[in-house]
Chains A and B, each alone.
Chain A
Amino acid sequence: MKKSLLVALAALALANAITLWHVARNSAGVPDTSITLNSEALSSLSRSDAKDEDSSVNFNIRWQYPGMPETMDDWGWPRIWIAREALQRLGFDCSVSPASSDAQAFYRRQPSRRAFVAMQLATSGTGLTLLETAVDSNALRGRYPDSKHVLILPAIVTIQVTSGTGVPALTAIVDKVPTQIHIPKPFSTQIRTHPNAAFRLHLTYGSLHEPRVTGVDFSTPR
């Protein structure tokens, strides 16, 4: 009986220790990326309910597939932006022709894959555009060494058959990119007190590709 209390306390202590150690690891060493985003690149995640029950300030970084929105199909999904070889390198089985009658069922049955994505910041700082996906983040950073404008982020990639161009082809949906940014105090207070002001958000991504807000500066009002 006493043992179970000790196990409960150990679970509490260990889970918190591991989490804080993870945070320390991410912050330690040379940052992977230091990036500055304009407020146009961010969409607010604050809840708009009348009771205003969430006091935190959170934003989502806007990003898009290459060539969007022109390359979007009728369902809002991207048309072909990734080569078949790249999909195979991510671990997908592309042996069935997308034009075959079994293709939809075959590709729908393939689970999503964990990968990394390279995202480029627009020169105006108003959003990110997907460049490439790969299994190895270091290889991706090697190909895109500009750590002021290219972010390397973990993501989930799902293979899909698209017929947006008229001819069935393979494409990929990139999902669960950690683009949500929590703004800590004192930056959140500044943003809250200037709700309509444009600002620039400075982010540092650590060795584990997780962001930390390092500054907010206000420029001209919107």
Chain B
Amino acid sequence: MVQDRAEAQRQADGIRTLQRDLTSGELAEVLVLSSEQKQRFDLWAESRLASLGAVFDLDRNTAQGAMSWGARIASALGGFALAVSLVLLFQRYWGFFDTWMQVFFVILAPAALLAGAEYAARRERTLYFASLLSLVSLAAFALNLVVLGQVFNIAPSERALLAWGVFAVALAYRYGQRLHLTIGLFLLVSYGCAFLTSSLGYDWLEFGARPEYAASLALILWSVPLWLRHAQNPAFESVYRTLGISIFFIAVVSLAEGNMISFFPFAPDVIRTGYRSLGLVIAMGAIWLGIRRQWPGQVNLAAFFFCGLLVFRLHAWWWAWMPSWLFFGILGLFGVVVVIALRQLRRWA
């Protein structure tokens, strides 16, 4: 039983390719089917395509696939634009309402938009409108807590990040939306960092100042698909991995090259050197693991951060005294070395 649209699309594309190749091309010469076998295959292929098409709104050709992507992008951009519009509209008129009306509106808005998303999801298989409305609902929920805080002069709290994060992740699982999951997980990691910062008596808004919190939480995020299977949303596993690895490496790069605060009681130079080495080693490990497990997103990101860390170091060591042409020449040579190393790794995998 196929649960995911992407998987259904892959299966349908495979069947159509096989159908085409069996009637024309090399395969038709190598694998000659009797008319009865061909009839049985055509029957099976049509019935399988029909059953997949009944559950998922599949693209029948490349042009339709491009249109679907366009619709997805338009849905996300439309969602963002409507969210901004909602906030600005409220801001324009809220001063003319009594407090109870302001409170009533901001509490009702996300619930009403969620009901709209739910209605849309039950009427369309593509979920473009459900995605758009749920994104606006998330913005309305953000507006909800911000306005309540402003109306009642409440000091800002990190707990709002938790509420928004949980809401966004729940919407992501409900409508199978990777964008919502990315936003939600980012909010939850931010909340985790802010909570730990605040627990130590510091200002929660400085949650970015100690990147080791973010790095630790990012590793937990990265590991989620290892112990939590996503049978219904297999594409979510790559979101966890991609976001986890991105946050982890951004934290490591900021510790290695920035002036961030570390928990380790060593001299700042020692800590920076440690994180530089750790970053390179982990990036290499992530590339190797990504190739082994066939996680292309992880391989690309880890390679990007590996090169980034190297470029930072080379710049710090050589840029001041080396002629610019030579510096970029060496960078180019490093690029060639990385390509050769990756090709070798690919062969081993």
Give the contacting residue for A114; candidates B114, B160, B203; CB below 8 A. B203
Q: Does chain B have a CB within 8 A of A181?
A: yes
Q: Does chain B have a CB within 8 A of A137?
A: no
CB-based contact B170/A55 at 8 Å: no
Q: Given A4-B170, A185-B98: A112 and B145 within 8 A (CB)?
A: no
- How would residues 155 to 167 of chain B score, 1 for a CB under 8 Å from any chain A CB and 0 otherwise? 1000110010011
Chain B CB within 10 A, most for which of A12, A14, A22, A108? A12
Q: Which residues of B contact A176 (CB under 8 A)?
A: 203, 205
Partner-contacting stretch, out of B7-15, B66-74, B89-97, B323-331: B89-97
Among A30-88, those with CB < 8 Å from B are 53-58
Among B150-192, those with CB < 8 Å from A are 150-155, 159-160, 163, 166-167, 170-174
CB-based contact A55/B174 at 8 Å: no
Q: Does chain B have a CB within 8 A of A167?
A: no
Q: Does chain B have a CB within 8 A of A212?
A: yes
Q: Does chain B have a CB within 8 A of A98?
A: no
Q: Does chain A have a CB within 8 A of B75?
A: no
Q: Given A19-B145, A91-B201, A176-B203: A7 and B166 within 8 A (CB)?
A: yes
Q: Which residues of B contact A156 (CB under 8 A)?
A: 203, 205
Per DSSP, chain B at the interface is helix
CB-based contact B114/A112 at 8 Å: no
CB-based contact B153/A1 at 8 Å: no
Give the contacting residue for A55; candidates B94, B145, B167; CB below 8 A. B94
Interface range, B side: 35 or more
A55 (CB) vs chain B CBs: closest residue: B95
Q: Does chain A have a CB within 8 A of B240?
A: no
Give the contacting residue for A212; candidates B95, B98, B153, B155; CB below 8 A. B153
CB-based contact A55/B151 at 8 Å: no
Q: Does chain A have a CB within 8 A of B107?
A: yes
Give the contacting residue for B154; candidates A57, A113, A188, A210; CB below 8 A. A210
Q: Does chain A have a CB within 8 A of B119?
A: no
- How would residues 86 to 115 of chain B score, 1 for a CB under 8 Å from any chain A CB and 0 otherwise? 001001111111110001000100110010
- How would residues 305 to 339 of chain B score, 1 for a CB under 8 Å from any chain A CB and 0 otherwise? 00000000000000000000000000000000000
Q: Which residues of A contact B210 (CB under 8 A)?
A: 111
Q: Given A4-B170, A15-B145: A182 and B153 within 8 A (CB)?
A: yes
CB-based contact B97/A19 at 8 Å: no
Q: What is the CB-to-nearest-CB distance from A213 to chain B, in angstroms, rounded to a whole number?
A: 9
Interface range, A side: 35 or more
Complex: A7 Cα to B174 Cα, angstroms? 10
Complex: A57 Cα to B99 Cα, angstroms? 13
CB-based contact B163/A4 at 8 Å: no
Q: Which residues of A contact B144 (CB under 8 A)?
A: 12, 15-16
Q: Does chain A have a CB within 8 A of B52?
A: no
Q: Does chain B have a CB within 8 A of A127?
A: no
Q: Which residues of A contact B159 (CB under 8 A)?
A: 15, 18
Q: Does chain A have a CB within 8 A of B209?
A: yes
CB-based contact A8/B88 at 8 Å: no
A156 (CB) vs chain B CBs: closest residue: B203
Q: Does chain B have a CB within 8 A of A28?
A: no
Q: Which residues of A contact B205 (CB under 8 A)?
A: 156, 176
Q: Given A11-B167, A56-B95: A112 and B203 within 8 A (CB)?
A: yes
CB-based contact B107/A16 at 8 Å: yes
B166 (CB) vs chain A CBs: closest residue: A11
CB-based contact A12/B114 at 8 Å: yes
CB-based contact A9/B114 at 8 Å: yes
Give chain B's interface residues, CB within 8 Å of chain A: 88, 91-99, 103, 107, 110-111, 114, 118, 141, 144-145, 148-155, 159-160, 163, 166-167, 170-174, 197-198, 201-203, 205-206, 209-210, 232, 259, 261, 268
Offer 11 A-B interface pairs, CB within 8 angstroms, sorted by A: A1-B173, A11-B141, A12-B110, A20-B103, A20-B148, A55-B96, A111-B206, A156-B205, A176-B205, A178-B153, A210-B154
- A-B pairs with lowest CB-CB distance, top 10: A55-B95, A8-B170, A15-B163, A4-B173, A7-B170, A56-B95, A4-B174, A11-B167, A156-B203, A111-B202
Give chain A's interface residues, CB within 8 Å of chain B: 1, 4-5, 7-9, 11-12, 14-16, 18-20, 22-23, 26, 53-58, 91, 105, 108-109, 111-114, 154, 156, 176, 178, 180-182, 184-185, 188, 192, 209-212
